[in-house]
């Protein structure tokens, strides 16, 4: 297969309205107040877009964690008894506050994370607010059963009760949206939450917490302490005053959390590795367009990104050419430029993983067709070229690890059963994609793919906030479900009350 000369990647332009604001010094949110950390130290946050410092956050100590947990325990005693409709009203007020801060949150997200402002950052903020609206309505319908008793003098009631004090630990790729997936249903259900944003995107989390506090929340029901996982994260996870933990991130970190949490209740969403399967009866042009979106949206930094592409051998060469056309259309550059479709990677860790995975695949026989390296001429070296790599062998790291970058990694299957085998070889099972025009083949695959979610004839980044999302059993993608009422049901426990009315006075 011959490859056309690739078009030059665009240079980064920096319009006047994207000049960097003065770096702000943020504080910790503890018991309804914004306070300095007890260490007196600060951590600088650099933008992957420009390399400049965009803010500072306090370096927290174990003492700060103890204060936050103490405040949470005191707040939980009252908050859990607040009527559900009052909690629902709080969630609507939070959504309105996030709407008021929409542009500020999106701009900060672009600078801190690299998301294109119009195409990705603004929609991310909008869905953050929507999650609070969904939770507000879901809690009004959090109904439980009345169970018949074999004793005619008894009535058996069930009630959903909040677990109590939660810690929510979230990653950097969607620094307001992913937190809202547990903050909203958790608070709506009567829990109180200590929120630890990622150290790679702490300012967006702190700014969201600021917006939430505009909703006149009771002190202590939401607290925000960013910091590194081995310190702040571990102190929270292992603290005896914390009842439950919600975590989104890598399976490696998830294993550590599970080992440190003891008997605490866990809600874990721990990533995926695609893949998307292209059958020989698919609409190939549409499949390539949507698959490329799954590869390059958010620069591939999505847990359900199209990491791997498994193509039926009959249409392999045609599909590869279509994917190359799609890759050439990606515009890499300044996230504040409305013409840009892909910004930089968020951090050096992700860029190095891309380099390691691509080098490994090529060494094992894969063919690098487009991109495959850091782009030159940009303010930081986190701008990574959209990459297409073909004939990826099944023993390559790409086939078994989450790359988390702008990568279209293509492998070939001999027939339907071989494609199913290839899809199921790795340890993940979060969200897969399938392109086919046959209902029969669609359900043949649906019954055999080991995945929590399967998207047929659309990209693997397809998402609706009220739909259950999570890993398949027997995989390392986690357990529990993110999405609407399904998350709320994971953040409450069932309480049974038996009443013998023969011994009750009228």
**What tokens appear for 288 in the block?**
């390539």
Closest CA to 115 of 420, 352, 345: 345
What is the three-class DSSP state of 232? helix
- CA 405, CA 416: separation in Å to the nearest integer? 28
54-78 CB burial, b ≥16 within 10 A, e <16: bbbbbbbbeebbebbbebbbebbee
Tell me the catalytic residues: 269, 303
Q: How many whole angstroms from its chain centre is CA 279?
A: 29
Closest CA to 334 of 380, 297, 271: 380
The alpha carbon dihedral of 393, 395, 400, 404 has a sign of: negative
Residue partners of 390: CB distance under 8 A and separation at least 6: 1, 320, 366, 367, 369, 410
Q: In what order do the strands lie in the sheet with 146-147?
A: 146-147, 154-162, 492-500
Q: Give the helix ranges, DSSP H, for 216-315.
A: 234-238, 251-261, 284-296
Which one-letter DSSP state was computed for residue 430?
S
Q: Phi, psi (5° rounding) for residue 180?
A: -65, -20
- CA 464, CA 177: separation in Å to the nearest integer? 12
Residue by residue, DSSP assigns 130-184 as: HHHHHHHHHGGG---PEEP-SSTTEEEEEEEEE-SEEEEE--SSSTTHHHHHHHH
Residue by residue, DSSP assigns 467-478 as: S-B-PPTTSSSE
On whether the CB atoms of residues 29 and 58 are closer than 8 A, the answer is no
- CA 367, CA 365: separation in Å to the nearest integer? 7
On the 0-12 / 13-18 / 19+ scale of CB atoms within 10 A, 19 is: exposed
Q: Phi, psi (5° rounding) for residue 268?
A: -125, 125
């Amino acid at each position: 297969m011959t490859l056309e000369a690739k078009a030059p990647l665009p240079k980064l332009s920096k319009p006047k309205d994207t000049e960097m604001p003065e770096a702000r010094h943020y504080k910790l949110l503890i018991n309804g107040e914004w306070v300095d950390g007890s260490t007196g130290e600060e951590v600088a946050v650099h933008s992957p877009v420009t390399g400049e410092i965009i803010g500072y956050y306090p370096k927290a100590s174990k003492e700060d964690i103890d204060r936050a947990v103490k405040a949470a325990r005191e707040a939980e005693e009252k908050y859990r008894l607040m009527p559900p409709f009052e909690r629902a009203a709080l969630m609507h007020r939070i959504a309105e506050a996030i709407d008021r801060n929409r542009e500020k949150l999106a701009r900060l997200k672009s600078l801190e994370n690299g998301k294109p402002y119009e195409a990705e950052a603004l929609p991310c903020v909008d869905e953050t607010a929507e999650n609070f609206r969904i939770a507000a309505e879901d809690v009004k319908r959090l109904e439980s059963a009345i169970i018949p008793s074999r004793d005619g003098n008894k009535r058996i009631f069930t009630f959903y009760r909040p677990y109590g004090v939660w810690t929510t630990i979230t990653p950097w790729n969607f620094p307001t949206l992913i937190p809202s997936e547990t903050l909203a249903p958790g608070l709506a259900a009567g829990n109180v939450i200590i929120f630890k944003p990622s150290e790679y995107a702490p300012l967006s989390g702190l700014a969201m917490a600021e917006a939430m506090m505009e909703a006149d929340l009771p002190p202590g029901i939401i607290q925000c302490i960013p910091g590194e996982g081995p310190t702040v994260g571990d102190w929270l996870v292992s603290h005896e005053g914390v009842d439950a933990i919600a975590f989104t991130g890598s399976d490696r970190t998830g294993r550590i959390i599970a080992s440190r949490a003891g008997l605490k209740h866990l809600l874990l969403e721990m990533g995926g590795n695609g893949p998307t399967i292209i059958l020989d009866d698919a609409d190939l042009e549409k499949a390539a367009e949507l698959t490329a979106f799954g590869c390059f949206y958010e620069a591939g930094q999505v847990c359900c990104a199209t990491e791997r592409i498994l193509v039926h051998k009959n249409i392999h060469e045609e599909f590869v050419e279509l994917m190359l056309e799609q890759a050439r259309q990606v515009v890499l550059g300044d996230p504040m430029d409305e013409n840009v479709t892909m910004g930089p990677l968020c951090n050096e860790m992700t860029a190095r993983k891309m380099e390691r995975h691509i080098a490994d695949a090529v060494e094992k026989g894969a063919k690098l067709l487009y991109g495959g390296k850091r782009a030159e001429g940009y303010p930081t070296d986190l701008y990574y070229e959209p990459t297409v790599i073909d004939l990826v062998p099944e023993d390559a790291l790409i086939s078994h690890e989450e790359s988390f970058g702008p990568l279209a990694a293509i492998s070939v299957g001999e027939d339907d059963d071989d494609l199913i085998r290839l899809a199921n070889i790795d340890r993940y099972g979060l969200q897969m994609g399938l392109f086919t025009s046959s209902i029969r083949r669609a359900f043949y695959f649906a019954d055999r793919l080991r995945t929590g979610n399967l998207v047929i004839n659309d990209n693997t980044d397809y998402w609706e906030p009220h739909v259950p999302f999570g890993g398949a059993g027997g995989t390392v993608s986690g357990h529990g479900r993110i999405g609407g009422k399904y998350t709320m049901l994971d953040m409450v426990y069932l309480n049974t009350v038996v009443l013998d009315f023969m011994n009750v006075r009228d």
